[in-house]
Amino acid sequence: MSKGLIKFLVIVVSLACLYSLSFTFVTRKVEKDAANYAKGDMVKEKAYLDSIASEVVYNIGIAKFTYREAKANELALGLDLKGGMNVTMEISLDELITNLANKPKDANFNKALETAIAKSKTTNTSLIELFLNEYKATGATTPIATFFATKDNAGAIQAGSSEGEVRSFLNREADNAIQNSYKVLRTRIDKFGVASPNIQIQQGTNRILIELPGVNDQERVRKLLQGSAKLEFYETFRNEQAYGIIDNINNTLASALKSDKKAPATVATTDSTATAAADTTKKEDNLLAKLGANKNATDSNAAANAGLEAGNPLFSVLNPNVGQGPSGQMELAPGAIVGYASLKDTAKVNAYLARPEVKGIIPGNMRLLWAVKPESFSKTADILALYAIKTSGAENGPTMTGDVITDARDGFSQQNKPIVSMSMNAEGARQWQRVTGQAAQGKYSIAIVLDGVVYSAPGVEKEIAGGNSEISGNFTIEDTKDLANVLKAGRLPTTAKIVEEAIVGPSLGQVAIDSGVNSAIVGIIVVMAFMIAYYNRAGIAANIAVIFNVFFLMGVLASLNAVLTLPGIAGIVLTMGTAVDANVLIYERMREEKALGKSMRQVVSDGYKHAMPSILDSQITTFLVGLILFFTGSGPIQGFATTLMIGIITSLFTAIFITRLIFEYMLKREMKITVSFPWSDHTMKNANFQFVKKRKVAYTISLIAVVISIASIATKGFSYGVDFQGGRTYTVRFDEQVKAEDIRENLNNVFGTTTEVKTFGSENQLRITTSYHIEETSDAADKEVLAKLNEGLSKAQVSKYEILSQQKVGPTIASDIRDRAIYASILSIIVIAGYILVRFHKWQYSAGAAIATIHDAIILLGLFSMLDGIVPFSLDIDQHFVAAILTVLGYSVNDTVVVFDRLREYLKKPNAHKEEIGTTINNAINSTLSRTVITSLTVIFVLAVLFVFGGEVIRGFSFAILIGIVVATYSSIFLAAPAIFDLSRGKHLASSAKEEEKKQVKVVTP
């Protein structure tokens, strides 16, 4: 690869990162303007942002981006930084099974389900599998298929179906329930108006994860998310029937808004469709005259001129549905749509329609409902359609409800157009035949409404018998998939419940941001100062690479639409420390080559070449740990894993390419390159420690430490975080210093159970955890626990207090998180050992690395057990701790692999077999000792900064990594490589012929 190509790559990556980050700069500027305009009024600020949502705020050449588009591309902040609500919804599979079987009274059926529910709380086996096994275990003679062979399931299961067919049916219905719930929740949240929400199905489970940044009305969110999906079918008014009412509303508003007293205008109200239809001919000319001959239905700007707004307030924000007739004249368009409004204007339309004088105009059997999403014809703005819905019956309800639907699927017509096929049960088919017959005769549409939003309003050509229908229209494939899901949601035989919840107040989020920024700034200063102090001019090159590394890391995060969390910031700070690892490996090699009397150009070239295998092996092992963390963790832990993995890639890029370009630049201009000061030039240069000879001393120390750790774990145990044991946790800030013991005593009395109360950060801040109502996840239980918390705090006669954050985790999900953490740890050790085996071809290397990593994990667990309650900060075992311990394992192997690489290199030398294997191992450790110590010191400096300045939320997390790095450095030097001597029984590890012939890693030379 040529130097020109490397420069080109650096420029391209830099521009790409700058482009990705630019959206964040733009949205921050817009939001700052909104805040300045609103002056603290949140309603006014939101209205400002809504008003410009569809306006172009960013131009890059020919590319133009609206605020909404720029917002979607920004680097979003997680809940722990911004505040908001994090919810895990769980689809009730027990309810699904019961409802699909029409709630049978059979004792064996219900006993099997009850036992399966109990077992599901302690195992990862699916509830469906557990239920089928338990039913079989009851010895019941009634085939399981008999219960599910109902009328609604007739097309999928029969009484003679096998157990395997029942299993497939239940799993398919469970998947449908999860997908349909996801669709319903997605739509509800979009309606709620949350900026940058995040919703995802947790693969392999019946759970849906939801993040709602900036939300502060938790009660409203809970009701929104846990309400049952309501699918309804309505007849509609024709546009020409409804327009007279819309015109009357417009005139009434004009009169009312002119009145200083804002009194309702005296108008002639219409109570029925017949009255509205009678007015149609009389008012049509007036309405079209107001619209203007060249009025376009999507042109909201033209409608919003001053004259029209004063005389026609409704029409200034709602454009009636008109089109061009056969003769070119403007006329009312057919269909159920009565008007269009820009998304930013829908709130104003709703406000107009909610006025008392307007409510009196709208007939009792009419509802005006918005479409679920913007119209496809609008390219420059988000335009929503407003439908006129006709209610029926004494209660003004729907014509039909969605529980009659047995199936719905997307497909294609004979003309290869996307359509939706829908099937109904017998009762539904009879109703559908009647409804479609009336609609065809009256030439009106039938609206499909879910949760008060219109998904489609197809016209009806003729009466449909048999209950099987095809819905066609101007659909995309995605539209038909969505509509099919909506129709299936109508018979959703289960509900979604909140099983995990975390609420972070904005004030705590701001503290987290300040802590994260402070730790990042101090961390980068410490790293830069140390690199220059130790490596002289080469340290400056490394610092430039570190700056580029942070810039690239942030740019890649933004381009991936990643969410930046507090552990993510910790990952960035940690990356700054590990980013210099590759540079340290290169510089230490350069110092060795320089000592051999080579020219500086050759020193640079050979330094990069010989360091490359160690760089790649050490970084790949850490990357594998990050990968495991990403797939086993959730929320903030995934954010940390993402940052860690991207940081490894960007660190390699900057260390290998950017520093090399700097050295080439210096060589070309004959500038002096130095990799040390006189004081640091001979640091550990001639180290000759007898590690193998003294290994038994190290073994003894480690064995004692491991025994003490295991003893503490077995006797004292751990303090588990709420995400590992379940329960509810509250972070409470008081106006003055409080005594944790006094609070604990009063809360124990109120809850009737032991309450965990710990100082969290400052003396006036506590973290309170209770297991009261741990099995209950309902809203009623949440309110009761909160009420008892307030009661206990009031009995303690404390000063004013504020609940900054709260978290709820059900016992089932806590068990699942704990199991996944254990699997992740075991999997990490196996994957690392497997990689080392493949890379080094000798099982002794894998075993040595595994011994070191297991040693590190046990001692770190033991320290958390022993020090819990002694140190003045939380040492809970939770997801953050799992991330920390896996990071330590990755770092431990990183260090170990560097020694192994040097050992392998020495073993490949001619006549290497003539030297004692113990001597070779000693030489490998001693020759890499400088690198091991320098890298560890750099990371320790950064972690110390993170521990002091990173904030209380991640103090335990940073402490775990800090202590873990010290232990990992010890094990890589004193255990991993010396263990190879004993594992090989002191015999020489001869390289295989395959390894001898393997090509060395080629270094890119600019």
| pLDDT tens digits, one per residue of 970-996 | 998 899 889 988 888 767 655 433 444
Please state, in angstroms and rounded to a whole number, the distance separating the CA atoms of residues 93 and 934. 54
pTM of the model: 0.69
Distance CA 701, CA 709 (A): 12
- Taking the C-alpha atoms of residue 998 and residue 28, their distance in angstroms, rounded to an integer, is 53
Cα(710)–Cα(700) distance, rounded to whole angstroms?
A: 15
CB 82 within 8 A of CB 213: yes
Q: Which fold has domain 505-553+560-715+816-997?
A: Multidrug efflux transporter AcrB transmembrane fold (1.20.1640)
Do residues 803 and 758 touch, judged by C-beta distance below 8 A? Answer: no
pLDDT confidence of residue 271: 36
Q: How many CA atoms lie within 13 A of 4 on its CB side?
A: 0
More confident of the two residues 984 and 814 = 984
Q: What is the pLDDT of residue 737?
A: 81
Q: What is the pLDDT of residue 18?
A: 93
Task: Please name the residues in contact with 261: beta carbons below 8 A apart, sequence gap of 6 or more.
Answer: none
Strand partners, 720: 877
CA angle 179, 185, 190 (to 5 degrees): 125
**pLDDT reported for residue 20:** 92
Q: The domain 399-491 is classified under which CATH number: 3.30.1360.200, 2.60.40.3080, 2.30.30.100, 1.10.4160.10? A: 3.30.1360.200
**For range 904-932, the mean pLDDT:** 82
Question: What's the rounded mean pLDDT across residues 780-787?
Answer: 84
Reading the block at residue 340, the tokens are 């269009």
pLDDT of residue 292: 35
Cβ within 8 Å of residue 700, ≥6 positions away: none
Rg of the chain taking only CA atoms, in angstroms: 34
Are 922 and 689 in contact by the 8 Å Cβ rule? The answer is yes
CATH code for the structural domain at 727-809: 3.30.70.3400
Q: What angle do CA 935, 940, 943 make, to 5 degrees?
A: 130
Q: What is the pLDDT of residues 55-87, one digit of tens each?
A: 888 988 778 888 888 888 888 777 777 777 878
Of the listed ranges 754-768, 857-871, 991-1005, the least confidently predicted one is 991-1005
Is 139 exposed, middle or buried, given 0-12, 13-18 or 19+ CB atoms closer than 10 A?
exposed
- Dig out the tokens for 167 from the structure: 């299993």
Task: Answer yes or no: is pLDDT of 492 > 80.
Answer: no
Is-contact 656 615, C-beta < 8 A? Answer: yes
Coil, helix or strand at residue 757:
strand
Distance linking the first and last C-alpha atoms of the chain: 6
Tell me what pLDDT residue 237 has. 92
Contact 855, 979 (CB under 8 A): no
DSSP secondary structure letters along 772-814: TTTT--SHHHHHHHHHHHHHHHHHTT---EEEEEEEEE-HHHH
User: Looking at residues 839-848, what average pLDDT do you find?
Assistant: 85
User: Which of 112-116, 486-490, 949-953 reaches the highest mean pLDDT?
Assistant: 112-116
| Nearest alpha carbon to residue 631 among 123, 202, 124 | 202
Higher-confidence residue of 967 and 1006: namely 967
Q: Which two structure tokens, joined as six digits, stand for 148?
A: 């599910």
Burial class of 260 by CB neighbour count within 10 A (0 to 12, 13 to 18, 19+): exposed
For residue 231, list its beta bridge partners: 450
Average pLDDT over the chain reads 80
Q: Cβ distance 507 to 621 under 8 Å?
A: no
For 84, which DSSP code?
E
Q: What is the DSSP letter of 657?
A: I
pLDDT > 90 fraction of the chain, expressed in percent and rounded: 11
- The whole-angstrom distance between residue 556's C-alpha and the CA centroid of its chain comes to 16
pLDDT in tens, 588-600: 889 888 888 888 9
pLDDT of residue 376: 64
Which has the minimum average pLDDT: 77-86, 412-421, 609-618, 823-832?
Answer: 77-86
Mean pLDDT over 928-956 rounds to: 83
Is 766 within 8 Å of 759 (Cβ atoms)?
Answer: yes
Burial classification of residue 731, based on how many CB atoms lie within 10 Å of its CB (0-12 exposed, 13-18 middle, 19 or more buried):
buried
Average pLDDT over residues 368-380: 74
**CB 796, CB 746: distance < 8 Å:** yes
Cα(617)–Cα(893) distance, integer angstroms: 9
pLDDT bin (cut points 50, 70, 90) of residue 299 is: very low
What Cα–Cα distance (Å) separates residue 444 from each residue in 437, 450, 458, 539, 919? Answer: 11, 19, 9, 77, 92
Q: Are 380 and 55 in contact (CB under 8 A)?
A: no
Q: What is the pLDDT of residue 86?
A: 79
Reduce the secondary structure of 925-958 to three states and give it as a string. HHHCHHHHHHHHHHHHHHHHHHHHHCCHHHHHHH
**Are the CB atoms for 975 and 702 separated by under 8 Å?**
yes
Average pLDDT of the segment spanning 94-107? 88
Give the contacts of 37 (CB within 8 A, at least 6 positions apart): 44, 45, 48
* Residue 489 confidence (pLDDT): 63
Burial class (CB in 10 A: 0-12, 13-18, 19+), 999: exposed
Q: Per-domain residue ranges for the chain?
A: 3-74, 88-209+218-229+496-500, 239-388, 399-491, 505-553+560-715+816-997, 727-809
Beta bridge partner(s), residue 732: 766, 803
Q: Name the band, by pLDDT with cuts 50, 70 and 90, for residue 942.
A: confident
Q: Which residues on neighbouring strands pair with residue 564, listed in sequence order?
A: 77
- Per-residue pLDDT for 617 more than 50? yes
**Residue-level pLDDT at 478:** 77
Specify the range with the lowest mean pLDDT, choosing from 7-11, 41-45, 677-681: 41-45
Of residues 591 and 682, which shows the higher confidence score? Answer: 591
To the nearest 10 degrees (0 to 180), the angle between helices 929-949 and 566-595 is: 160
Tokens of 594: 């320089």
Which tens digits make up the pLDDT trace of 700-724?
A: 999 999 999 999 999 998 888 777 7
Quick one: tokens of 495?
């509900």
Question: Alpha-carbon distance 972 to 899, whole Å?
Answer: 8
CB 177 within 8 A of CB 492: yes
Is residue 475 within 8 Å of residue 419, measured between CB atoms? yes
DSSP sequence for 243-277:
HHHHHHHHHHHHHHHH-TT-PPP------SHHHHH
Closest CA to 647 of 553, 577, 583, 520: 553
- C-alpha to C-alpha distance for 930 and 192, rounded to whole angstroms: 57
Question: In this predicted structure, what is the pLDDT of residue 997?
Answer: 42
Cα angle for residues 107, 109, 112 (degrees, 5° grid): 105
Q: Which residues of 926-960 are buried (b: 16+ CB within 10 A; e: fewer)?
A: bbbbbbbbbbbbbbbbbbebbbebbbbbbbbbbbb
Q: Which residues of 386-411 are buried (b: 16+ CB within 10 A; e: fewer)?
A: bbbbbbeeeeeebbbbbbbbbbbebe
pLDDT digits (tens, 9 = 90+) for 435-472: 888 888 888 889 988 878 888 888 888 888 888 888 88
- Which pLDDT score is estimated for 640? 80
In this prediction, what percent of the chain has a pLDDT beyond 70? 87
Beta strands per DSSP E along 512-640: 563-564
Token duo for residue 67? 């605020």
The sign of the CA dihedral 559, 564, 567, 570 is positive
What DSSP assignment string belongs to 215-247? ---HHHHHHHHHSPP-EEEEEE--HHHHHHHHH
Residue at token pair 């027990």 = 94
Q: pLDDT band at 697, cuts 50/70/90?
A: very high
Q: How many residues does the chain have?
A: 1006
Q: Any idea which of 184-198, 525-539, 818-832 has the lowest mean pLDDT? A: 184-198
Calculate helix-pair angle for 929-949, 506-535, nearest 10 degrees.
Answer: 150
